[in-house]
Chains A and B, each alone.
Chain A
Amino acid sequence: MKRHGHSTHAATVLITSVLTTVAAGDMQAGEFSGYIGGQARVFFEDPLSPVQHNSYLSAVTEPEYTHQWDDGAQSFNAKLFYRVDQYDEQRTHGDIRELSWTGVYDNWELLAGISKVFWGVTETQHLVDIVNQTDLVENLDGEDKLGQPMIKASTEREWGTIDLFILPGFRERTFPGEEGRPRPNIVIDTEQDAIYDFSSGNDHIDLAARYFHYIDEWEFGLSFFSGTTREPTDFSPVGISAAGEAVVVPVYSLINQLGITSQAFFGDWTWKLEAINTEARSGVKKGINSVQAVAGFEYTLVGIADSNMDLGFVVEYHFSDKRIYENTIFDNDLATALRFVFNDVQSTEILAGLTTDADTQSIGSFIEASRRLGESWTLEAQVRTFHGTKENRPLYSFRFDNYAQLDLNYHF
């Protein structure tokens, strides 16, 4: 077992070469954009831990710079991220979301640097999407991702699209700090070295590939990943906090993961499927295979009640045999949601839903609403609640963590 690797040398080389390439290109004025904003998170009940708080303020910015040359065949993209949180030291964090060069040559697109890719089709969980690590401290929904160093080659042909990845430099998942909220009633310490249960540690160079194709109203993807798991396979206790909570560090293992995505369109119906088979290649679970899947549909009523509003029904069922990721909350759960798209000038949208655990009948609810204010501002509201969580289940520690969140951002 090896604790924490050295600085990720390969990634450094990669970034340096990107910057050199860009400097060599004829630099014309690029384009700046991005946003800056504030967030308020308010909890309805007192916290489980005395070091947590009832409300949190934070400020965020995500500036972006993009520059194209060579008739658009080459481009440079940079996107930085920084959040300052009132109490949570782990949520006060920065990241290079993107710092990459892209070049297009005949049928091939090459990318080198830090970037992000998305794989997947479902709405309530992104199982197949594995290239980028989750920036979990940003949002519980797991849709925020950390920038991943990569070399990517992609070709799009008549017979489909192939993406090939070399992924040097593992990124550890972010978790809320001791004062952060919501969080489990253990402190996941990301300041200490994480545990890698294989010899190369975080110097391991991961590989990934994906094939995607569509035929008329049916699309499918097949992906393969070989490398360090993005979701910790375990947590290892390292001590007790001053407030008396267990302190743990995440354990990462090597895996091979095969993923499929499929989507089909029939009239107002969109059918979706994501499934993965994960094989642990190191650690105590070495040799174990695990299956997880999410499948469902989205049905859309267009222009309800003679208005411009669309109403979508999202239903997705989640399954996991929990043979590797034992703490997943999506093991036998049904997510149902309503999506209201107002199609108005302010692009108002509301997504409201429930995730019900078929075994324990515990329910998680969520509301996500967003709209534009004027030309440059956006307002987002989120409410998340947890009901009937059972004592021996992972969500039990969130039982007092119902909260509402408001985000106001200025876009430039």
Chain B
Amino acid sequence: MNHKKIRSILFVSSLLLTPLLAHAETAEANAAERGMAIAVEADKRDTGFEDFTSNMIMELRNKQGDTSTRTIRLKTLEVTGDGDKSMSIFDKPADVKGTAFLTFSHAIKPDEQWLYLPALKRVKRINSKNKSGPFMGSEFAYEDLASQEVEKYTYKYIRDEKINTAEFPDGADTFVMERYPSYEHSGYTRQIAWINKDRYVAEKIEFYDRKNDLLKTLTSSGYKQYLGQYWRPNEMLMENHQTGKSTLLKWEDYNFKTGLTDSDFSRNSLKRAR
């Protein structure tokens, strides 16, 4: 084969491929746009709650079925134009009672996080790059529990799907979309989320590890609407498919618009949290 022939083959192939590629690119762009639109809508619907408090009971279960319980009080302050502020205070296990985390989450730059150790009275800044690690030995990573800002992912709409859940045994209409963490140190390559079309909340999320193998599935259930707008689940079950372990989060006593302010989310208030 001479050079001329190769070149012409390349030329012809490129002519043939260009419209296909363009089409694929457009479809890709559309899927990304639609995915983003769903995320933006979900975020919009959850805007304006100002603040909320709740109690969280974590049940850690290993493969043999042994359980271990943690109880945590949670306060969240909505920050417009940036990630939310949150404080979590441990009540159980007893040896870590009074231990508390303060997190200022951000859309683009790394979150700021402080840990308060009551025995030493020490407030320790956490190097927040490390968010893929497990939260208190549970199947939830820090990044799973962090405030979910739109900018933390790029998106791709995949399809519509009716899925059966405990609440909707006859099927709930969902958007299925992929989310790709923007954060380079995320423990995931991607997540697949099933977003309820009515409520714009996730019924189910699958997490794929750095090797792109299915790692965990999160199923949220018992959604209730607060103040006629904000949907919150009663239970979130995280199952790890690779280890057989699971963690059940039970949420209790949601209270919205309780009047929390910035001063409730400071290093001093972290030390006072009991």
CB pair B120–A109 under 8 Å, yes or no, is: no
Write the chain A residue with the least CB distance to B68. Answer: A345
Interface-centre pick from B68, B109, B132, B274 (highest chain A CB count, 10 A): B274
Q: Please tell me if the beta carbons of A75 and B274 are within 8 angstroms of each other in the complex.
A: yes
Query: Closest residue of chain B to A265, judged by CB?
Result: B127
Q: Are A109 and B272 in contact (CB under 8 A)?
A: yes
- In the complex, what residues of B have CB within 8 A of residue A203's CB? none
**CB distance B95 to A68 under 8 Å?**
no
Which residues does chain A contribute within 8 Å of B132, judged by CB atoms?
Answer: 302-303
B92: interface (CB < 8 Å)? yes
Q: B93 at interface (Cβ–Cβ under 8 A)?
A: yes
Chain A residues contacting B185 (CB-CB under 8 Å) are 302
Chain B residues near A270 (CB, 8 Å)? 127
Pick the interface stretch among A7-15, A352-360, A371-379, A397-405.
Answer: A371-379
Size band of the B side of the interface? 35 or more
Q: Are B129 and A411 in contact (CB under 8 A)?
A: no
Closest to A409 in B: B95
Query: What CA separation (Å) do A267 and B128 show in the bound complex?
Result: 9
Q: A68-B274, A161-B267, A345-B62 are in contact. Are A310 and B130 (CB under 8 A)?
A: yes
- Are B137 and A117 in contact, with the CB atoms below 8 A? no
Q: Contact: A375 with B134, CB < 8 Å?
A: no
Q: What mask results when residues 154 to 196 of chain A are scored 1 for a CB within 8 Å of chain B, else 0?
A: 1010000100000000000000000000000000000000000
Are B134's CB and A308's CB within 8 A? yes
Closest chain B residue to A119 by CB distance? B122
- Give chain A interface residues in 29-70, CB to chain B under 8 Å: 31, 33, 35, 66, 68
Q: Which of the listed residues A216, A344, A345, A378 has the most CB atoms from chain B within 10 Å of its own CB? A: A345
Indicate whether B96 reaches chain A with its CB closer than 8 angstroms: yes
Any B CB within 8 A of the CB of A343:
yes
Tell me, in angstroms, the Cα distance from A217 to B69 when the chains sit together.
Answer: 34
Q: Report the bound CA distance from A104 to B263 in whole Å.
A: 10
The majority secondary structure among interface residues of chain A is strand
CB distance from A382 to the nearest CB of B (A): 15
* Complex interface bits, B110-146 against A, C-beta within 8 A gives 1, otherwise 0: 1010000000111101011110111011000000000
Give chain A residues whose Cβ lies under 8 Å from the Cβ of B68: 345, 375
Who on chain B is nearest to A375 by CB? B93
Flag if B125 contacts A265 (CB, 8 Å). Answer: yes
Contact pick for A376, options B60, B94, B98, B134, CB 8 Å: B94
Among residues of A, the one whose C-beta sits closest to the C-beta of B259 is: A71
B97 within 8 A of A: yes
Interface residues of B (CB under 8 A from A): 60, 62, 68-69, 92-98, 109-110, 112, 120-123, 125, 127-130, 132-134, 136-137, 185, 187, 263, 266-268, 272, 274
- Nearest 10 interchain pairs by C-beta: A411-B94, A345-B137, A411-B95, A118-B122, A118-B121, A302-B130, A156-B266, A343-B134, A378-B95, A156-B268
7 additional A-B pairs beyond A109-B272, A118-B123, beta carbons within 8 Å, are A33-B94, A300-B130, A343-B133, A343-B137, A345-B62, A375-B93, A376-B95
